[in-house]
A = this chain, B = another copy of it.
Amino acid sequence: MAKVVTLGEIMLRLSPNGQDRFIQTDIFRIIPGGGEANVAVSCANYGHDAYLVTKLPAHEIGQIAVNSLRRYGVNTEFIARGGDRVGLYYCETGASMRPSKVIYDRANSAIAEANPEDFDFDAIMEGADWFHWSGITPAISDKAAELTKLACEAAKRHGVTVSVDLNFRKKLWTSEKAISIMRPLMQYVDVCIGNEEDAELCLGFKPDADVEGGETNAAGYEGIFKQMKEEFGFKYVVSTLRESYSATFNGWKALIYDGKEFYQSKRYEINPIIDRVGGGDSFSGGLIHGLLTKETQGEALEFAVAASALKHTINGDYNLVNASEVEALAGGNANGRVQR
* Chain A positions near chain B (C-beta within 8 angstroms): 14, 18-30, 59-61, 63-64, 67-68, 70-73, 84-86, 88, 90, 92, 94-105, 107-108, 169-171, 212, 214, 244-249, 268, 270-274, 276-277, 309-310, 312-316, 318, 320-321, 325, 329, 334-340
Contacts and interface: CB of A to CB of B under 8 A. Distances in A.
* Oligomer: number of copies: 6
Contacts of A21: 60, 314-315, 320
12 contacts: A23-B67, A70-B72, A88-B88, A95-B272, A97-B268, A98-B313, A102-B338, A107-B108, A214-B335, A245-B335, A246-B271, A276-B338
Where chain A touches its partner, the secondary structure class is loop
Contact of A63 (B22, B105, B335): B22
A102 B28 contact: no
Contacts of A270: 96-97
Given A64-B22, A67-B23, A94-B336, A271 B248 contact: yes
A14 B105 CA distance: 15
B274 A336 contact: no
A105 B98 CA distance: 31
Contact of A314 (B14, B19, B212): B19
B24 A27 contact: no
Contacts of A107: 84-85, 108
B98 A310 contact: yes
A117 to B, nearest CB: 23
A64 B171 CA distance: 22
A177 B111 CA distance: 29
A94 B20 contact: no
A334 to B, nearest CB: 4
A320 B99 contact: no
A218 to B, nearest CB: 18
Given A18-B315, A71-B67, A272-B272, A336 B96 contact: yes
A103 B271 contact: no
Given A85-B105, A335-B245, A309 B97 contact: yes
Given A59-B103, A94-B313, A108-B108, A247 B23 contact: no
